[in-house]
A = this chain, B = another copy of it.
């Protein structure tokens, strides 16, 4: 692992004879322009966006069609050359960074960037792997639809990467992760054949579901080249509320009440009082939605999306007010407000979306993307933070995020006296194991949204039930016996080195 702050050395990478032969072969198939070997052009893609993972690739391949991807994969298999698929390079776990030894080429999907079609009857869009999420949002909005998944990196993240990591975000509460939004995929399998699963069938029971197997497989079982994606009606009205409460237990109780009364709650995010104060201090022009101080805050979004007016229908703001009033009256929450304008609604969301940045400004920190069963999350947020602070004196632990998904971002910040480099090097491994052990003890997942990539591979192997790890390796070995697709990510075959 390359720790934050360590310099990346830009160096020439010698090509193996197999790689040279592969590129010679491919020049006729995909054209010279699609084969990039200039160091300066490759370098930005050898490092992840946060600068934590560095690799080396002697070439970057940039095919323009599914057929060209298939030709590359088939030829790479014949030549025994590994490929690292890459979309927007926004992985949080080093999932798209090539190995350090230059043994793999980068396979960029960014030129596969067409929205092939939008079917407003079936409410489906077919987008190629390189389509950027925000581009898709705009394309379907022009047709009165929306693709109900969004996240901070929407301006860079691509459909292929979102499928391959089973991405989540802030609308999972109502719409689920990518797994629930993908109706079919087209992918190149490790033998170079094309799996065409784009003809969307709502019912299809012809054996093991390859589409589901490839979702979240991080490019280790095939290269996703396009996806059929479920669309929802465009939002016609929304309301964003903000409430203060005593603890996460009450926050979840509020969510459960609301969900029992309506299916129109789209987001439900929890924020600790001191984290909010950090945002207010750090981000100019922000102010708290509520006058008083509260130990915990929740942001709630309700939407309406009826394309035709429904007689007598309640507005989202009316809905939130109706549901928040009794919670205020019986003390479940201490205060609440519903944004009076779209500008105010955006200001509420900005507070939430500034949390990571504000936390980062607070000093070196380890950020864990973890999940536990939803009902267990309130206690976990309280107990795990207290346990981490007790075990590692001087640290500051906090959690915020998608309470209704049982998924929070759990941060452990270094003591104010700590030097960043030393703290990351000396303390991070022990803190990581400590937090991951707490997660496993609570029946949770050490990777809720971000995947395993390189970063969490050792912990997955340490903590994964042996039967599950055995099954993962058996499937990988069966479909990609030479281990040529995204080597060193997610699952290691027996003959790969056990650690770096």
Contacts and interface: CB of A to CB of B under 8 A. Distances in A.
Interface of A: 119, 121-123, 165-166, 168, 172, 176-177, 179-180, 189, 191, 193-196, 199-210, 212-213, 215-218, 221, 233, 256, 259-262, 306-308, 310-314, 318, 322, 371-375, 402, 405-407, 443-452, 460, 464-468, 470-472, 474-479, 490-491
Most B-side CB within 10 Å, residue of A165, A307, A475: A475
Contact of A206 (B176, B308, B464): B464
Given A206-B445, A209-B213, A478-B478, 10 more contacts: A122-B375, A168-B203, A179-B209, A194-B467, A195-B467, A200-B374, A204-B447, A205-B216, A262-B310, A477-B478
A69 to B, nearest CB: 14
B207 A448 contact: no
Given A202-B371, A202-B405, A216-B208, A471 B467 contact: no
A445 B205 contact: yes
B180 A180 contact: yes
Contact of A449 (B205, B218, B260, B375): B205
Q: Which 9 residue pairs across A and B have the least CB separation, nearest first? A: A312-B312, A193-B467, A478-B478, A199-B443, A212-B212, A203-B448, A474-B478, A204-B445, A202-B405
A474 B479 contact: yes
Contacts of A447: 204-206
A179 B213 CA distance: 13
A322 B311 contact: yes
Contact of A166 (B196, B205, B310): B205
B213 A212 contact: yes
Contacts of A207: 216-218, 452, 460, 472, 490-491
